[in-house]
Chain A
Amino acid sequence: MTALAILGVLSSALFSGASLLYATLGETINQRAGIVNLGLEGVLLISGATAVAVTSLTGNPYFGILAAVLAGGLTNIIMAFLVVTRKGNQLASGLALMFFGFGVSALIGRAFVGLRIDGLPRFALPGLANLPPRYSSLFQFDMLIYLAIPAAVFVWWLLFRTRWGLGVRAVGENADTAFAAGRNPNLVKYQALFAGGLLAGLGAAHLTIAYVLNWSEFMTGGRGFIAIALVIFSKWNPIRAIAGALLFSGAVAFQLLLQASGVEISPFLLDTLPYLLTILVLMLWGGSRKYAAPASLGRVYMGTE
Chain B
Amino acid sequence: MSTSAESGRRSSVIIQMLSGTVGRYLSMLVIALLLFGIIILISGRNPITSYRELFGSTLGSWRGFSEVLVAMTPMVLTALAVALPARIGLINVGGEGQLYMGACAATWGALTFSAAPAWLLLPLMIVLGMLGGALWALIPGLLRAMGLVNETITTLLLNAVAPLLVAYFVFGFWHSPMDTNRTPNFVEAARLPTLADTRIDLGLLIGIFLLAAFWLFMRYTRWGLEMRAIGGNPEAAQRNGVPVKLYIVIVLCAGGAIAGLAGMAQVSGYYGVLLTGFSRGAGFLGFLISWLSFGNPVSILLTSFLVAVILTGGSMLQLTTALPYAVINILLAMALFVVLSGINIFPGRRTT
Contact = CB atoms under 8 A, between A and B. Distances in A.
Q: Classify A-B as touching or not with yes or no (CB < 8 A).
A: yes
Interface of A: 38, 78, 81-82, 85-89, 91-93, 95-100, 102-107, 110, 217-218, 222, 225-226, 228-229, 232, 266, 268-269, 271-272, 275-276, 278-279, 282-283, 286-287, 298, 300-303
A195 to B, nearest CB: 22
Nearest to B151: A301
Interface of B: 39, 43, 89, 91, 93, 139, 143, 147-150, 152-154, 156-161, 164-165, 167-168, 171-172, 281, 284, 287-288, 291-292, 323-334, 336-337, 340-343
Looking at chain B's contact residues, is the secondary structure mostly helix, strand, loop, or mixed? helix
Contacts of B281: 99, 102
Nearest to B39: A107
Given A96-B288, A102-B329, A217-B324, 13 more contacts: A87-B342, A88-B340, A91-B152, A92-B292, A96-B333, A99-B281, A103-B332, A107-B327, A229-B157, A269-B164, A272-B160, A286-B143, A298-B150
Nearest to B162: A272
Nearest to B333: A100
Contacts of A82: 337, 340-341
Q: Which 7 A-B pairs have the closest CB atoms?
A: A103-B329, A100-B333, A103-B330, A106-B326, A96-B336, A86-B341, A88-B340
Contact of B284 (A81, A98, A218, A282): A98
Contact of A88 (B154, B167, B342): B342
A85 B167 CA distance: 41
A96 B337 contact: yes
Nearest to A266: B168
A275 B43 contact: no
A275 B171 contact: no
Contact of A110 (B93, B164, B171, B323): B323
Given A107-B324, A275-B161, A91 B341 contact: no
A125 B30 CA distance: 56
Nearest to A45: B326
A149 to B, nearest CB: 25
B14 to A, nearest CB: 24
Nearest to A110: B324
Contacts of A232: 153
Contact of A283 (B143, B292, B323, B334): B143
Contacts, number: 142
A301 to B, nearest CB: 4
B311 to A, nearest CB: 10
B149 A99 contact: no
Contacts of A99: 281, 284, 329, 332-333, 336
A91 B93 contact: yes
Contacts of B160: 222, 225-226, 229, 272, 275
Contacts of B156: 38, 225, 228
Contacts of B330: 100, 103-104, 107
Contacts of B152: 91, 300-303
B153 A268 contact: no
B287 A92 contact: yes
A275 B159 CA distance: 9
A89 B337 CA distance: 11
B102 to A, nearest CB: 18
A103 B327 contact: yes
5 contacts: A85-B341, A92-B292, A103-B333, A225-B159, A282-B153
Contacts of B150: 298, 301-302
Contacts of A87: 342
A229 B156 CA distance: 9
B153 A89 contact: no
A263 to B, nearest CB: 15
Contact of A107 (B157, B323, B334): B323
B340 A266 contact: no
Contacts of B343: 86
B341 A81 contact: yes
B268 to A, nearest CB: 23
Nearest to A298: B150
A303 B168 CA distance: 34
A301 B288 CA distance: 16
A97 B342 CA distance: 16
B168 A92 contact: no
